[in-house]
Structure 1
Amino acid sequence: MQAPSARIDVTKVGFGWLAIVRIGLVQASIGALVMLATTVLNRVMVVELELAAAIPAGLVAWHYAVQLARPLWGHASDKGGSRTRWIIGGVIVLAAGGLLATQATLLMATAYVPAFALSVFAFALIGMGVGAGGTSALALLASGVAPDRRAAAAAVTWIMMVAGIVVSAITVGALLKPFSAERLMWVASGLALTTITLTVLATYRLERQAGQFGDAARGGAAPDLRAALTEIWNEPAARRFSVFIFISMIAFSMQDLILEPFAGLVFGLSPGESTQLGGQHQGGILFGMIVTGIGGSAFSGNRPDSLRIWVVCGCLLSAVGLGALALAAVSGPPWPLGPNVFVLGFGNGVFAVAAIGAMMRLAGAGEKTREGVRMGVWGASQAIAFGLGGLAGAAGRDAALRVLGDQGQAFQLIFSIEAAAFVLAAILAVRATGGTAMKAGAAYETREIYA
């Protein structure tokens, strides 16, 4: 019997590597804008304005709460016939929210109540922009890339996103020296203009190059949202993976809003220096992603569970980095803070690429659901976890400071809890990314290749 030939239909050719890189530029733009809100503005509120860490943490949690609507935006891009307009529109809304959040932060020193109200609105815009633009970009990637390239394509785009965060963090940190309110506003405006322009150029005529795989390729209509969510919830593999994403992303995000204040309060770093420290963390993430991608076995199609060892090792290495930070919190200078943060980032990067590869494999595994809804569900799970994790880290630090009365001991407690959460995530990953969980994705990839 003659073996079936793979993707002989020209409509199934899909994205080449240049198109994948262009989606990576969109991800880099989104990451750079989020970096401004979650690192720079967070630092200014806690250190320069001397506000409780729970205030910026609450705002960041609010922007994640808004992202609970990710399945709605993913479903809309599935049915609307154009993901590009959702991507560009999302980045524009995100940039506008970043500018409003910057202005509101600067107003907090003189008019706190109206400034805080403006911040709530601004961070809602940030959440809407990230949800609409990010979900649509990942859905375009999943639906426009052939199944045998999905994991590698996800790694490339996320490496580029982290590279964008690193470059923007280092650049913004340098431009903020010496720090002033006027300088911060100018830098934020330049970042917004640059990212919008880059997104428009990157997506120009991009969507017409995409092939169609799975249900979309056969012309089937996307189901309504309730039916799509029911199908996903009834899949054991998708449900277990959602739980793993939730726990691991709580562990991933608990230090997000306290790392730069920690550097300023315990190690005495300036705003520019602490922003560059954040860049070192992102640099470690980037290096970890590259190493994991080059490792090859993480993305080999021979074994459905080939991602598992990378996820587990990334989680455990992240726990080690956080344990070291817990020691740094009570020892202070001359602890090698930069290398410590880089190691933490490296573990985060190894974990992230492997988890993203698993997510991309499962994204096309639906009988009826399209990639937009499925990526939206996991994006919503991630958003909830990020919001809760960031808020728990910052609020926990405030509570620990009141009880313990010492900055170093308060930070030590939070870093230790986060390390324990990563160990739990490693345990959950054994089942969530094992052979049984991944076989569904592999089976559907085979179905699509030979359709």
Structure 2
Amino acid sequence: MTLSWLSIVRLGLVQLALGAIVVLTTSTLNRLMVVELALPATLPGFLVALHYGIQITRPTWGFRSDTLGNRTPWIIGGMAVLAVGGLGAAAGVIVLERSLGAGLALSVVSYALIGLGVGASGTSLLALLATATAPARRAAAATITWLMMIFGIAVTAGVVGGLLDPYGPARLMTIVGATAAAMLLLTIVAVWGVERGIEARPEPEAPPFRVALREVWAERKARNFTLFVFLSMVAYFMQELILEPYAGLVFDFTPGESTQLAGAQNGGVFLGMLTVGVLATGLRLGSLRTWVATGCLGSAAALLTLAAIGPMGPGAPVLPASVMLGFFNGMFAVAAIGSMMQLAGEGRGAREGTRMGLWGAAQAIAAGFGGLAGAAAVDTMRGLTADAPAFATVFTVEAALFVAAGLLALVIMEGGRSADPMLQPGE
């Protein structure tokens, strides 16, 4: 038996829950540290980089769920760890107001738990989708679950933003606690019984992990795509920790307003992904290479727009510019996912998981490095100039990276329509 469409949608709810908890730590708590507590942006940058760095263990979690033969406990257990980590991260912000040392210690432990929870739950979920979804449904399943995750991020950011004003520690803990508990319950309900009737197939005998990794790295396509993933993800995540502080420091947004801004941006991501899905899959317009490059170049244009409106101060069109950035980010991301699905099955056989693990590790390293680099660069520039030009400089560098990633995609990716799995979901 394979997963039905209903089961695929149910598993998408787990992705939604993952995004809902993580967005609180990467946007809301980040803004509170930088604006309300006046801490350097490097601090939340380090914490978010820590949670991404720990996700390098994703291949290990996938292997463990393989050996167990039942991935449900890992999905639920990972979500429980993530919920505890999210609640601890919120408590860490409150403790930071009184004691830097104690607050930092609690935050480090909490963000480490967030990384472990996302790694265990997310990897086991994707492994279940990959092994139990019929080949004809895999591209659609990946798109559905990704869109649901973005939807969860956007809705959570918007709702929490409205509830958080006026800001207070007790209100913060109530909101984060309720969100974490609700998402854990949603995960249990969504995944319970999905694996029933799906026979676990043992993995064929494989060489040691290091040998398999060397074999994949020797493949030119896999190696080039790894470089593209790293460069594009550094550009993608550089703004993650600085957009909300930018809105607060330069445009006088309240904590609730800046959280809603993050929700609107992720709403743009959702629309960008949906646009590519409809045009590429439904209307068969354009190749994945074209959509990846368009998303990268459009993201660069949006970042330059954000940089340009800084001198206008309060009242500037920061919301439309942020939605524009999200739209092109989503366009690039979903096309890159389709390309990843295409390339995972090319080259030496029985190495699909290793290739996905390699690209996942590159994405995690790039996400942590990009977020930390963006925050550190803003701190450095704010010491040299005013807030608006400081942020504008970092946005401009990020735009240049997106241009480079788009050009790299045009060089290394195949543009033929026949190579695009999203355009041929039945094959």
Range class of TM-score, shorter chain: over 0.9
- Aligned twin of 1:358: 339
Alignment deviations for residues 353-375 of structure 1 (CA, whole Å, 9 cap, x no partner): 11111222333447454655443
Q: Which among 182, 192, 209 is matched to residue 194 of structure 1?
A: 182
Q: Which among 332, 335, 339 is matched to residue 320 of structure 2?
A: 339
Do the aligned partners of 1:325 and 1:412 also contact (CA within 8 Å) in 2?
Answer: yes
Cα–Cα, structure 1 residues 233 and 77, in superposed 2: closer, same or farther, change >3 Å? farther
Cα–Cα, structure 1 residues 193 and 270, in superposed 2: closer, same or farther, change >3 Å? same
Match of 1:65, as an amino acid?
G
- Aligned twin of 1:423: 403
TM-score, structure 1 as length reference: 0.88
Match of 1:258, as an amino acid?
I
Alignment deviations for residues 232-282 of structure 1 (CA, whole Å, 9 cap, x no partner): 222222222111111111100000000000000000010000000000100
Distance in 1 of aligned mates of 2:343 and 2:70: 22
Cα–Cα, structure 1 residues 437 and 99, in superposed 2: closer, same or farther, change >3 Å? farther
- Aligned twin of 1:307: 288
> Counterparts of 1:104-253 in structure 2 under 5 Å?
104-208=92-196, 220-253=204-237
Match of 1:389, as an amino acid?
G
> Counterparts of 1:49-68 in structure 2 under 5 Å?
49-68=37-56
Match of 2:291, as an amino acid?
W
2:73 is equivalent to residue 85 of structure 1: yes
Report the more deviating stretch, 267-276 or 83-92: 83-92
Distance in 2 of aligned mates of 1:363 and 1:32: 28
Match of 1:330, as an amino acid?
P
Superposed displacement of residue 200, structure 1: 1.0
Do the aligned partners of 2:287 and 2:416 also contact (CA within 8 Å) in 1?
Answer: no
In structure 2, the gaps of 5 or more residues are none
Do the aligned partners of 1:231 and 1:369 also contact (CA within 8 Å) in 2?
Answer: no
Distance in 2 of aligned mates of 1:388 and 1:55: 13
Alignment deviations for residues 106-159 of structure 1 (CA, whole Å, 9 cap, x no partner): 001111101101111111111111111112212222222233322222111111
TM-score, structure 2 as length reference: 0.93
Report the more deviating stretch, 428-437 or 281-290: 428-437
Do the aligned partners of 2:252 and 2:314 also contact (CA within 8 Å) in 1?
Answer: no
Cα–Cα, structure 1 residues 372 and 137, in superposed 2: closer, same or farther, change >3 Å? farther
Superposed displacement of residue 204, structure 1: 1.1
Do the aligned partners of 2:288 and 2:415 also contact (CA within 8 Å) in 1?
Answer: no
Do the aligned partners of 2:216 and 2:351 also contact (CA within 8 Å) in 1?
Answer: no
- Aligned twin of 1:280: 264
Report the more deviating stretch, 391-400 or 288-297: 288-297
- Aligned twin of 1:255: 239
Do the aligned partners of 2:238 and 2:373 also contact (CA within 8 Å) in 1?
Answer: yes
Cα–Cα, structure 1 residues 69 and 124, in superposed 2: closer, same or farther, change >3 Å? same
Alignment deviations for residues 80-103 of structure 1 (CA, whole Å, 9 cap, x no partner): 312222211111111111111111
Cα–Cα, structure 1 residues 372 and 129, in superposed 2: closer, same or farther, change >3 Å? farther
Describe the SS at the equivalent of 1:296.
Answer: helix
Distance in 1 of aligned mates of 2:354 and 2:122: 13
Do the aligned partners of 2:51 and 2:114 also contact (CA within 8 Å) in 1?
Answer: yes
Do the aligned partners of 1:91 and 1:199 also contact (CA within 8 Å) in 2?
Answer: yes
Do the aligned partners of 1:255 and 1:390 also contact (CA within 8 Å) in 2?
Answer: yes
Alignment deviations for residues 199-219 of structure 1 (CA, whole Å, 9 cap, x no partner): 11111121246588xxx58x6
Alignment deviations for residues 218-240 of structure 1 (CA, whole Å, 9 cap, x no partner): x6245442233223222222222
Superposed displacement of residue 165, structure 1: 0.5
Superposed displacement of residue 438, structure 1: 9.2
Match of 1:271, as an amino acid?
P
Cα–Cα, structure 1 residues 437 and 135, in superposed 2: closer, same or farther, change >3 Å? farther
Distance in 2 of aligned mates of 1:276 and 1:69: 32
Cα–Cα, structure 1 residues 393 and 209, in superposed 2: closer, same or farther, change >3 Å? farther
- Aligned twin of 1:316: 297
Distance in 1 of aligned mates of 2:265 and 2:130: 28
Distance in 1 of aligned mates of 2:350 and 2:301: 39
Superposed displacement of residue 435, structure 1: 5.0
Q: Which among 297, 309, 320 is matched to residue 328 of structure 1?
A: 309
Q: Which among 363, 377, 383 is matched to residue 364 of structure 2?
A: 383
Distance in 2 of aligned mates of 1:238 and 1:113: 43
Describe the SS at the equivalent of 2:204.
Answer: coil
Match of 2:274, as an amino acid?
I
Superposed displacement of residue 433, structure 1: 3.0
- Aligned twin of 2:20: 32
Do the aligned partners of 1:237 and 1:438 also contact (CA within 8 Å) in 2?
Answer: no
- Aligned twin of 1:4: none
Superposed displacement of residue 298, structure 1: 8.5
Report the more deviating stretch, 244-253 or 426-435: 426-435
> Counterparts of 1:6-21 in structure 2 under 5 Å?
11=1, 14-21=2-9
Report the more deviating stretch, 182-191 or 15-24: 15-24
Do the aligned partners of 1:79 and 1:222 also contact (CA within 8 Å) in 2?
Answer: no
Alignment deviations for residues 273-310 of structure 1 (CA, whole Å, 9 cap, x no partner): 0000000100000001111111134896xx9x931111
Superposed displacement of residue 313, structure 1: 0.6
Distance in 1 of aligned mates of 2:65 and 2:407: 35
In structure 1, the gaps of 5 or more residues are 1-10
